[in-house]
Structure 1
Amino acid sequence: MLPETKVHQSQMELTYEEKAFFDVLTADPEVIKSMESDILIKIAKELAKTIRDNLSHAWHEKAQTQAKMRKEIKRLLRKYDYPPNKSEKAIQQVLEQARLQCIYNKSLVAK
């Protein structure tokens, strides 16, 4: 893992959305212990891009769109070996964070 000072420095390079996803991914202390911070930062950055690229108006109200988003999140977590026993909770929290970002930041939603 990166020393604590480097973690904070790297986190400062995250956008607001990326930081929100980073916080979700690192909410569980076991994840922090088992994964390197730079990998978690990569996941957060890719999550933000994936979600931004897949957002549409009221996506969180459409089951098919939610399923697609869930699949993309799951794929990303697997790609970086996010702990499988922590994935489902992380997916739920990422989806909730994406929903909140969509509601509060209409500029994220593709026209």
Structure 2
Amino acid sequence: MSKLYAMSVPSPQANQIKDDIAFFQAIKSRINKFSGNNVISDYEVETAVKQIIDDKLGSDGIIDLFQAAGIESPSVSILSDEFLLEVKNMQQKNVAYELLKKLLSDEVRVRKVKNIAQGKRFSEMLESIVKRYHNNQIDSAQVLAELSEMAKEMRLEDQKSEELKLTPEEYAFYTVLSQNDSTKMLDDEKMRELIHTIVDVVRNNATVDWQNRDDVRAKLRLTVKKILMRYGYPPDLAKLEADKVLAQSENLAAFFAGK
């Protein structure tokens, strides 16, 4: 029934029975919670979204998806406290969960491209939350709370980047290097200076397809190692960190190629 309805929205006939469909879907959602199956199908998510859009579709054909979902568009960030609160207060908790998971998954995907360390950390965090929810280790209220906390942690990372006066690309290198305790010997000013130096070196060596050329990669790795040693890194540690810097540089190859 849900599959057929999803295919027919929007239409006058489907509109006449949408309340009945919503009723049966709500019952199924309730049964799923008792039966231990918290997963709703893609068709059900699609149906919910289509119903929401159909309700708010204007004559000019312009749709504001967030307003359509009954959520005010956030003023500063899509992951603002106001937005997260509105998601948390949605009546259909399963839909709220799917919406928040989708937004965070997309955000993690973007961060993986720009920031290896941050992307790995948030990817593992999201995977853990979703897994525990599917295994009934946390309920719908708890999963929304944990996903909201994860979103707030993402915002804190972005704020820290701004506080350090680093671009997202520069902050990616900061994140890589700050994983090691050796960076604690550097104050913020020295760390910022180190990051700027590394970024300048990578940018100056970023020729066409540089990430596929062993000679360029070897030269860059050695240069970064020397820079790190100049800032107090022991030789062995400098070599390990240079490899991480190179990996992050390759992730941002397109950015540096554009210079």
Q: How many residues align structurally?
A: 99
- Residue type matched to 1:108 in 2? F
- The equivalent residue for 1:82 is 233
* CA offsets 1:49-90 (integer angstroms, 9 cap, x no match): 110111012212111111110121012112211243421221
- Asked if residue 108 in structure 1 is aligned to residue 259 in structure 2, the reply is no
Query: Quick check: 2:225–2:241 contact (8 Å CA) kept in 1?
Result: no
Superposed displacement of residue 35, structure 1: 2.7
Kindly report the root-mean-square deviation, in angstroms, between the aligned alpha carbons of the 2 structures. Answer: 2.0
Query: Which consecutive unaligned segments of at least 5 residues does structure 2 have?
Result: 1-159
Identity within the alignment, %: 25
Out of 46, 50, 54, the position equivalent to 2:205 is 54
Separation in 2 of the partners of 1:79 and 1:32?
13
Query: Alignment partner of 1:109: what SS?
Result: helix
The whole-number CA distance in structure 2 between the counterparts of 1:78 and 1:84 is 6
- Cα deviation, residue 37, structure 1: 2.7
Bigger Cα displacement from structure 2, 66-75 vs 76-85: 76-85
Aligned twin of 1:15: 167
Matches of residues 21-100 of structure 1 in structure 2 within 5 Å?
21-28=173-180, 30-100=181-251
Q: Deviations 1:81-105 (Å, cap 9, x if unpaired)?
A: 1243421221111000000000xxx
Any runs of at least 4 consecutive aligned residues in structure 1 with deviations exceeding 3 A, and if so which?
Answer: none
Query: Gaps spanning 5+ residues in structure 1: where?
Result: 1-7
Letter in 2 for 1:84: P
In 2, distance between residues paired with 1:47 and 1:108?
A: 12
Which protein shows a greater Rg? 2
TM-score, with length taken from structure 1: 0.76
Provide the secondary structure at the position in 2 that maps to 1:56: coil
Normalising by structure 2, we get a TM-score of 0.35
- Identify which range, 92-101 or 63-72, moves more after superposition: 63-72
2:228 match: secondary structure: helix
Q: Counterpart amino acid of 2:203? A: R
